[in-house]
Structures are given as structure tokens and as C-alpha cells.
Structure 1
């Protein structure tokens, strides 16, 4: 199968400016020093952005700095379909499929949510789709009128993950208490990941107690993110993952540039410093944890 093209601008070996779809210049950060032990980007979006790039080239650049593979994450039907194509195209990709909580109210209003959920469930049968996600609750962009649809969608995704014995990637924004309430009501699958962990030390301790994974992104390096550093400090190392959420959330000091999987080492290095763990030890733990959640990239 031919490699699908990935629509975002990508040249990690260059600081040259390109232009996005609106004609604005886009700068790319230099490649970091390679990690001593390979890790995996637990959450990325190869299909987001404006300019096409070859998926294999993006993965080659990541692999060159010690990022051995990635979990491509769907947020709606088109991106989930892309995810299925991507996992077929390159063995360095595993996938997650879902309807994002911000899309659920619109689909519900159009009478299309149940059909969309059914298609997600069908795609989840693919052997290289290893997670349902990203799903959850987001009260930042959706008001009270859309919360019922979000809750229904979240519950449906939870049941889907449990029925298929897949991991679940949670998107949570301004809704931690309600996410925890739904998990208590419906029950969590055996492997649960708080993607782009956005809570505090208290939520991290709840995750420790329940065996839930916490995936830290470039936001951990932001100057105004002390809550994330406090959470990372108390997080059980056996429950910690790393991600880019690319092309978003580029780590400091490159905020404002396009993020990509090749930039994950910047976040991993920072995490090791915050946890006061040798970088090689952090990488070994992250790799072990990631495989515990998603299985082997080589199956």
C-alpha cells in the first residue's frame, strides 16, 4: 500500500521558513540530540495541518533521534480513517480512533452520532488499532447545551474499549471531576491514559491509586505549568508516558513552531530532569510503559 501523505509542513533538519495554508511563515526547530534508548510518541496527529508531507519521512526523522514509533490518534471519522490507512502503511505506527468530545454535540444535533460511533467501533477491530481515543469531556469549548452528548459519547467509547480490550486515551479539559465521576459510574478499561495530562498532584495521586497512565506533553515545559511539574513529581514512574500531541504543544523553548514526533526528546529530557532520573533510565521506563499500554509495534 502506498504511504498516505500527511498534511502539515515538516522539515526537522532545517530552520528555513515555509508557509502555512494562510501564507504565514512557519519555522521548524532543530533536531534534538538522539535519546540513548528508543521511546515512542504515545499521541500524535500526523494528519493535522496545511501542507502535505510524507508519513515515512516524518517517521524517519523521529527514528533518527530515538523515537522508534508513534500512536497516530483519530479525533473524528476522517482522521480515524486516516489512522487506519497509516497503520497499514508503516509498521512504526499504531493507532487510536474516536470521536473527539467537541465533535460529539455537533454530530448528535445532526442525528449522526450513533452512526459515527458504530463506524469507530468497526475501525477499532483492526489489529493495529490499539486504543480508543481521544475521547472524554471538554468544557472549555463546549457549553452546557453540549454536555449531554459529550457524556453519552464518552460512555460509549468506554464501553467500546472494554468490549474490545483496548486502551482508552482520555481528553480532559476543565472537566476533571466529571471525567472521574463517569469513570466511577461506567468503570474504566484495563488500560487508561490521561492524554496530555492537564491535572495536578491530586489527580496524579488518584491515577497512581487506580493504575491509570499519565501522558506528559510539551506543556510540562511551559513556564506557567507548575501544576504539571507537581503532578510529574508524584506520578508513579511505572505509569508515566510521553507524547507530542503534534502539531500542537511544541515544548519550550520552541513554542510557536510546528511540533512533530522528532521533537519528543526535548520533553523526555525535561521529564528526566524533573524526576531526577538518568535519561537512559527514563527512556527505558517510558518504552516499557508504552508497550504495556499498546503492545508491541512488531506484532
Structure 2
């Protein structure tokens, strides 16, 4: 699945910090200068998936879990009149045209080292106007890059769209901790999960993706599938030969598989369905593709 989501915003809004937190390393440069990012940075981010872990527990220890992924692209900051080429605007707008959806991040924290007054609504409008003048319309998620002191607060940013508040700096630092250290930090902060999980899951849904699972003796894989994809299309995502030699898809919902106690048990109970090539894959389907080749 080659769908991608671009991170856009004004210079110093926190795009690269958010990107680094998402991919859990320091691939992108993070400096307080406009146009630190010239060429887009690209990273594949794992989608949080409790269903995958539930299936993993069903098969026992030693099972490899492969989560679905989302491609994020860190695009350089836009400035006013970018549509006229200001600040390499034409180049950066071209990158935005190539993505399937947008995370629009804006600065909602005060910092004397960052140039410009704090005005989230104006910053949002600046980017939206540039995109409109460049005739770019993409599904969009709004992310407020807040200070650590504003975590948990309800703040009105003057727009009607849903906003996900994230302290990108804290999330980047959190991403560097071990799993246990993360849990301890979140607990001490009164949080149940990293805010980035909401961003990732929202991005996944924004791209119109659902999750299909495949099982092997020692591996469970989650596959991102476009909502509305047929069994034939989904089979082709697993392997092109599967689409070319498709016979049938054996399908069961993940919850029913767990309740049955495993694939063999589900078959014995008659819970495995045989679906044709035009079957529409549902979110959470566990699928085994039967082909004409052995």
C-alpha cells in the first residue's frame, strides 16, 4: 500500500520534531531556521493495533508480529505567497500534491527563540490560503503543537475542525525511552498512551485504510487495505501470484478466531467462510488465500 500522508505547516511549527517522534529517531534535522528541511524526509510508521497483540497471544510465544504501516512525509515549511514561488514554495507545494492526505501542524506554544508572534488561527489560515491558491485539496488532520504545560487543557484555536493536541518535543523524547520507561512516564503524567497514537490512527483512517490479517505458523501480519477493496485486490497486496491464481479466500473475523481458540478449531466449528474474488474485505478480517498454485 503506497498511500502517504504529508506533514505541512509554517517554518518552525514543529513538523520535523513531530516526524522524528513518529519514526522514533533523529532522521530529520530540527533547527530553529526556515527551510531546514528542503528535500522531504520519508518514514514508515507502525500502526498501534491491539487486535494484532491479541492474535499474537492466541498463537503463543515465538510468534513474529508484523504491524501495518503508514508512510509519513516531512515536507518543508510553507510561507506566505508560497503559491507565487516565495521561499521555494513551488517546490514544496509540488511535494504536497504528491501525497494522499495532510497533517497540518501549527504552533500553539510560546518560545522566545522562535521568530514571530504566537497566533494559531492566523498560522492556520496562512497555510490554508496558500493551499487554496495553489488549488490543492487534500483530506486533512489538524495538530496543535502545544507546550507540555498545556497537556490535558481544552483550548479554542478558532477553527471548527477537530484538532489533536500534541507536545511534539515531549513525544520525541518519550519515543526514545524503553517500553517500561514510557509506561512509567505516561502514568506519572496522568496519560494512558502517547498522543502520537491518536495521530497515527487518525492518519490511517484519513487515508481510508482498514486492517486485514494473515497467519503463518510463526507469524501474524497486519495489512493496510483500502476500505472497499475486494478479496482479489487484497490477495494481490499479499503477493501478485495470489491475485493471478486466486481460487477462494478463507475468512473469519479476528474476534471469532480468538473465541474459537485457533484456526484449526474455527474450521472444526464451521466458522471459516469461503469467499469469492468480489468479497469486500472488512476491517479485522483474518484471511487465508487459496490459489491454483501449490
TMscore range, shorter length: 0.3 to 0.5
Q: Which has the higher helix share?
A: 1
The structure whose residues are more often strand, as a share, is 2
TM-score, scaled relative to structure 1: 0.35
Q: Over alpha carbons, which structure has the higher Rg?
A: 2
